[in-house]
């Protein structure tokens, strides 16, 4: 599996309790698609109203999916202003270096006391876990159809 940017081999890594494939050069991270139980996925049902408000600006990039080589689409997910690149064939999504740290910091700022900072990390892990589910990626893709 090659980095979409650098074309070097991605290495398995653990970021904030999440297994990813990370680039040793640019430090970007690939989150491959993982199927989850239906129940968990329902939390992320957008509904008609959310369309166009949660996700904005899908832009084609010259970065290639590590799994199929198709060009990735960059978009912004308004939830924590997260920017990522998605494979249209639902293989997964790409996050740039430290993008996950930035979101985690935002989550932590929402928490009041020290003890709850630990909860922020769990929440981020749960968020990423849901976002890499096949049906979630499919919904994202459908927003641009
Ligand atoms: Zn790279
Ligand atoms: Zn792909």
Compute, in angstroms, the gap from residue 106 CA to the centroid of ligand 2.
Answer: 29
The structure's pTM equals 0.74
Q: Checking DSSP bridges between strand 11-15 and strand 82-86, what pairing results, if any?
A: unpaired
Kindly give the confidence (pLDDT) of every residue in the chain, 145 residues in length, as a single tens digit, with 9 standing for 90 and above.
999 999 999 999 988 878 889 999 999 999 988 754 443 444 445 555 554 556 777 899 999 999 999 999 998 877 678 888 999 888 999 999 988 888 888 877 776 655 666 677 888 888 888 788 887 788 777 776 6
Q: What are phi and psi of 113, to 5 degrees?
A: -110, 170
Q: What residue spans define the domains of the chain?
A: 11-142
Ligand of minimum distance to the alpha carbon of 24: 1
Compute, in angstroms, the gap from residue 26 CA to the centroid of ligand 2.
Answer: 20
Distance CA 106, CA 123 (A): 12
Compute, in angstroms, the gap from residue 8 CA to the centroid of ligand 1.
Answer: 6
pLDDT value at residue 68: 96
């Amino acid at each position: 599996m090659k980095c979409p940017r650098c074309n070097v081999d991605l290495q398995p890594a653990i970021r904030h309790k999440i297994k990813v494939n990370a680039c040793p050069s640019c430090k970007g991270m690939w989150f491959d698609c993982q199927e989850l139980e239906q129940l968990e996925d329902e939390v992320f049902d957008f509904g008609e109203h959310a369309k166009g408000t949660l996700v904005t600006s899908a832009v084609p990039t010259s970065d290639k999916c590590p799994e199929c080589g198709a060009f990735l689409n960059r978009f912004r997910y308004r939830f924590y202003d997260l920017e990522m690149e998605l494979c249209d064939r639902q293989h997964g999504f790409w996050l740039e270096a430290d993008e996950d740290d930035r979101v985690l910091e935002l989550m932590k700022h929402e928490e009041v006391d020290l003890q709850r900072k630990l909860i922020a990390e769990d929440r981020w892990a749960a968020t990423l876990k849901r976002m890499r589910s096949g049906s979630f990626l499919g919904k994202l893709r459908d927003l641009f159809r």
